[in-house]
Amino acid sequence: MNDPEPLLQVRNLKKYFPITRGILIRRQVGAVYAVDGISFDIYPGETLGLVGESGCGKTTAGRTILQLYRPTAGQVIFDGVDLTALRGEALRRMRRRMQLIFQDPFASLNPRMTIARIISEPLRAHHIGTPAEQVERVQELLRLVRLNPRFINRYPHEFSGGQRQRIGIARALASNPDFIVCDEPISALDVSIQAQIVNLLEDLQDQLGLTYLFIAHDLSMVRHICDRVAVMYLGKLVELAQKDELYDHPIHPYTRALLSAVPVPDPSVERQRKRIVLEGDVPSPVDPPPGCRFHTRCPEARSVCTEEEPAWRDIGGGHFVACHAV
Amino acid sequence: MSPLLEVRDLTTRFYTLDGVVCAVNGISYTLEEGETLGIVGESGCGKSVSVLSLMRLIPEPPGRIVAGEALYRGRDLLRLSEEEMQQIRGREIAMVFQDPMTSLNPVFTVGDQLTEPMRLHLGMSRKEARERAAELLEMVGIPRAAERLDDYPHQFSGGMRQRAMIAMALSCSPSILIADEPTTALDVTIQAQIVDLVKALRDRLGMAVIWITHDLGVIAGIAERVIVMYAGFIVEEGPVGEIYGNPRHPYTLALLASLPRVDRTSNQRLAVIPGLPPDLLGLPPGCPFTPRCSYARPECREKNPDLQPVHSGHRVACWVDVTTGRLR
């Protein structure tokens, strides 16, 4: 199923946020190494999951790929064009093809705008269509996300969380993008509503041939929706593989611990499961540990892990891992 | 023997400008000594309000406990004076909340906050309480506990704050620990640590636990008995194996079916519960799940069914027997 030509190639992408001190004379005293050299491809029509715990840099990675944050280093090649080299109008034209769906359906819609204005904003920004055509397009988009097109003049507060997320999805689809970064699109929703939104995202992908980067921390949902899954820890990718390969044969000790910690809604399974409980907390990305970033919590750490950074390599069949023990 | 806690017909409403919110609608359940009870449901189903009611922590106004009893060792918590209630809270029944960031006071050290209940309830001296606080922090797995007593909450990570909250809740050896979504704000690896910690402490200290969550996975691993709530009603109650292995309420069935699992691959579409939970401002007379229920029949709209036993200890509130699709 892997198309030979990836839609998106991420190469050694880095994003550091400077930490400054001083009011009049600001000098940089450090940096948050939020994303520190990640590389992967996304193929047309696939869903790549990006998972990891809070603070691991997955949201920053998504936004840096979209050039909402300009990267510190590295390349993002979208359909053959290096986005990191583009500026101004050339970049703006590419943005039409890449959109973002946000986590919080309450904070991501302007409460003072009508649904029509919210959804048509990408159309106005990119000068797509006349005002009349834009209204028509908004109605079409509302039908696409299964909302009543008559809602067009209502305000966000009149909608439930699930409906607002549909509005956010309609806005993301307005400019007819090829690629959508879904940044935790269901984590703020109730369990019974999550399945509705996930099914909608899957249907839209089939209908419109979309490619998704699905950022999430719910590993059960990621297994359901994604084709391949990448695991991130403290700014680095630790493992990436086809989803069943990753979930059934995880190699990296962090992936194994992460998967073993996910509860299963079945008491008989839960009783027999062996958890790998990690000690301590994730270190700060301001001062990441040398060598392998996971060595401070890794049950299998050896002396080489504290000194040398493990290489990111394909161990066969597109299963990537960065670990000295492999 | 009478149960440790017996809640009967608890009804809590909120009198707001928009109308009366029927948050908890006559729920009854029991909790035995040393037992772990899970309460599951989605936001707004009344799971938190039901335990806040029996702790008498409902802000009045706008809230009011309009009916019911909550018998703790034979005393009705809903009829105690505020002074008597203060003797119960923290000492007999302790609570851990969802957000460890907002439930610790940022301007006092962790040690100050940990020693307060012990000095108040157990009359310990400053020095005794401090020694005990260090022991407690150690017990919940915080390294260099004695030194960390002088830290402020912001110097702790999220998981450590929740551990400190648990240490505080356990400081007076309560007989009931109420945990209201204690791991929802935490990452899965930290969640696993906290769940293991509470299980170990429960077994060691022999306390009963009420664990409230929307996560059916966490409940499967920790609870012995489960209550499923919807729109302020208990719709199903039973031993954990029965609830997951033999669910009898259409809502429980649909909820379990809509969950993907980390240990299985599925290429099918997720089962969906259509529509939205009802507005608690104007509940219809019938079963509140009717508009979303695939088993619904005309009688469901007219009268809300009571909990009826289907097995020993397994009760369900539904007119329809989901195993046959017919009226029971």
pLDDT value of residue B28: 94
Q: How confident is the model at residue B70 (pLDDT cuts 50, 70, 90)?
A: very high
Average pLDDT, chain B: 89
What would the pLDDT profile of A297-307 be if each residue is shown by its tens digit? Answer: 999 999 999 99
Residue A217 with chain B: CB contacts under 8 Å:
187-188
d(CA B171, nearest CA chain A) in Å: 23
pLDDT value of residue B176: 94
Q: How far is CA B237 from CA A317, B1, B10, B38, in A?
A: 47, 21, 16, 10
How many other CB atoms sit within 10 Å of the CB of residue A82? 12
Contact B221 A267 (CB under 8 A): yes
Contact B130, B111 (CB under 8 A): yes
Confidence check: pLDDT of B280 > 90: no
pLDDT band at B323 (very low <50, low <70, confident <90, very high): confident
For residues A94 and A75, what is the distance between their CA atoms, to the nearest angstrom? 15
Residue type, A157: H
Contact (CB<8Å) B188/A278: no
DSSP symbols for A20-61: EE-SSS-EEEEEEEEEEEEEEEE-TT-EEEEE--TTSSHHHH
Place of tokens 């840096």: A64
Whether B185 shows a pLDDT value over 80: the answer reads no
For B176, the 3-state DSSP assignment is strand
Chain B residue numbers with beta carbons less than 8 Å from the beta carbon of A53 are: 187-190
Task: Specify the higher pLDDT residue, A326 or B267.
Answer: A326
CA dihedral of A118, A167, A103, A173, whole degrees rounded to 10: -80
Beta strands in chain A (DSSP E): 8-21, 27-42, 47-51, 73-78, 81-82, 98-101, 179-183, 211-216, 228-233, 236-242, 313-314, 320-321
- Amino acid found at B99: D
- Above 90 in pLDDT, residue A203? yes
Average pLDDT over residues A205-218: 94
Q: How far apart are CA A182 and CA A144, in angstroms?
A: 17
Using the predicted structure, report yes or no on whether residue A239 has a pLDDT greater than 80. yes
- Which residues lie closer than 8 Å to A163 by C-beta, 6 or more apart? A147
Residues B116-132 have a mean pLDDT of: 89
Contacts of A294 in chain B (CB under 8 A): none
Residue A1 pLDDT > 70 = no
Confidence of residue A311 (pLDDT cuts 50, 70, 90): very high
- pLDDT at position A271 is 85
User: In this complex, do A191 and B277 lie within 8 Å of one another by their Cβ atoms?
Assistant: no
Whether residues A191 and B218 touch (CB distance < 8 A) is answered with no
The percentage of residues in chain A with a pLDDT greater than 90, rounded to a whole number, is 75
Show the tokens assigned to A21: 């001190």
pLDDT over 70 at A3, yes or no: no
Per-residue pLDDT tens digits for B86-112: 989 988 999 988 876 778 888 999 999
pLDDT band at B83 (very low <50, low <70, confident <90, very high): very high
Cβ <8 Å between A261 and B270: no
Q: How confident is the model at residue A259 (pLDDT cuts 50, 70, 90)?
A: very high
pLDDT at B275: 84
* Contact assessment for residue B167 and residue B114, using Cβ atoms and an 8 Å cutoff: yes
pLDDT at A233: 95
Say if B244 is an interface residue toward chain A (CB within 8 Å): yes
Q: What is the pLDDT of residue B162?
A: 85
**Taking CB atoms and an 8 Å limit, are B259 and A265 in contact across chains?**
yes
Look at residue A119 and tell me whether its pLDDT is greater than 60.
yes
Q: Does B162 touch chain A (CB under 8 A)?
A: no
In A, minimum Cα distance to B261 occurs at A220
Per-residue confidence band for A49, with pLDDT thresholds at 50, 70 and 90: very high
Q: Using an 8 Å Cβ cutoff, are B228 and B41 in contact?
A: yes
Task: Identify residue B45 by its one-letter amino acid code.
Answer: C
Q: Which residues in A lie closer than 8 A to residue B261 (C-beta atoms)?
A: 220, 223, 264-266
Q: A-contacting residues of B 2-41, CB under 8 Å? A: none
pLDDT at B264: 83
Instruction: Share the mean pLDDT of chain A.
Output: 92
Question: Nearest 5°: phi and psi at A19?
Answer: -110, 120
- Please give the residue that has the higher pLDDT: either B325 or A5: A5
**B312 touches A at CB < 8 Å:** no
pLDDT the model gives residue B190 = 81
For residue A2, pLDDT over 60 is answered with no
Distance from CA of B159 to the nearest CA of A (A): 8
| Cross-chain Cβ contact A264/B255 below 8 Å | no
> In terms of Cα–Cα distance, which of A322, A278, A314, A303 is closest to A2?
A314
Average pLDDT over residues A140-146: 94
Residues B232 and B133: their CA atoms lie apart, in Å, by: 38
Residue B314 pLDDT exceeds 80: yes
B218 touches chain A (CB under 8 A): yes
Most confident of A250-254, A273-277, B299-303, B320-324: A250-254
